[in-house]
Amino acid sequence: MQNLIRFILRNHFLLLFILLEIVALVLVFQNNYYQSAIVFNISRNVSGYINTKTYSVRQYLSLREANTALHEENRLLRNELFSSYKSQVPPASEAEFDQIWERRYDYIPARVIANSVNKQHNFLSLDKGAVHGVETDMAVVSGNGVVGIVTGVSENFSTVIPLLNVDLRISSKLKDTGYFGSLYWDGMDPEMATLTDIPHHVILNRGDSIVTSGFSAIFPEGIMVGTITDFEIYGGNFWSVTVNLSTDFRKLNQVYVIRDLLRKELLELERSAGYD
């Protein structure tokens, strides 16, 4: 307190001058339209700039919450897709309007917490595990297409073998014609994969879509894999098709783990028939 008093006594002329200047400026701006308009415009611009920056900061800080909310919303929408259901036709009727639809697939949202794209045997790690319903051999997809297959699960985390792993092969088909083959990555370009076993008499076009065939108990049918960029004959009777992958693994962040609610029933049937 004493220091404040000493400061005021030592600088009282300067403080009085500043006070009088402020009073004079207030009187000028209050009694002159032109000057008051200038001050109003300046204050409005400054306020607008500050509010814009403040809003941008708030938006940036809330991006994670917004992404989580969008991810959950997309999960709900995917669960309502026509492809997530199977038809149950009552024995007494074959009419289309009598069909009962039952959910076949459930989508579990997850976030990629570790990723690699520059190795021969790349792997992903997700922030969802057994407590969230994730199990081994479940399909993993992104908003753009196929990602990979779950290979390991702990209580809260899971690991995924992605398409960018030379040990993984996925049954895929031409979307337009239905001809299917085996798709794999050769360990070179993280944007390209190869589809084989397509008969050479099949007409191919650059830009044609490649999707999952559905001929396994892992991936549902029709999930986007990529588009044809090139093709050539190999072995005399088959096409070797170069596919531009629809999923950009270098930007992968949010994914979905697909739970097939009827998978165990299908596997048990196949084992009982001696298919394994």
Q: Give the domains, in start order, of the chain with CATH numbers.
A: 2-47 (no CATH), 67-89+96-272 (2.40.10.340)
**Count of beta carbons in the 10 Å neighbourhood of residue 108:** 19
Cα four-point dihedral sign 179, 183, 186, 192: positive
Q: What is the per-residue pLDDT for 49?
A: 62
Q: How many helices (H) and strands (E) does the chain have?
A: 5, 14
Whole-Å CA distances, 263 to 193, 223, 276? 27, 17, 14
Residue count of the chain: 276
The pair of three-digit structure tokens given for residue 151, joined into one six-digit string: 């290979």
pTM, two decimal places: 0.66
pLDDT on residue 36: 60
DSSP state of 220: P
Structure tokens at 230: 């090139």
The three-state secondary structure class of 97 is: helix
- Relative orientation angle of helices 2-10 and 12-31, to the nearest 10 degrees: 70
Q: What is the pLDDT of residues 68-98, one digit of tens each?
A: 656 665 666 666 554 555 544 454 544 444 4
Q: 198-205: long-range contacts (C-beta < 8 A, 24 or more apart)?
A: 198/174, 198/238, 198/239, 198/241, 199/237, 199/238, 199/239, 200/233, 200/236, 200/237, 200/238, 200/239, 202/174, 202/177, 202/239, 203/177, 204/174, 204/228, 204/231, 204/239, 204/241
Q: What is the tens place of the pLDDT at every residue in 251-271? A: 888 899 999 888 788 778 877
Q: What is the pLDDT of residue 98?
A: 46
CA–CA dist 33, 216 (Å, integer): 78
Sign of the alpha-carbon torsion through 31, 35, 41, 47: negative
Question: In which residue ranges of the chain is pLDDT below 50?
Answer: 55, 82, 87-89, 91, 93-98
Q: What angle do CA 193, 161, 273 make, to 5 degrees?
A: 95
Nearest C-alpha neighbor of 207 from the set 181, 180, 229: 229
pLDDT given at position 225 = 97
pLDDT of residue 249: 94
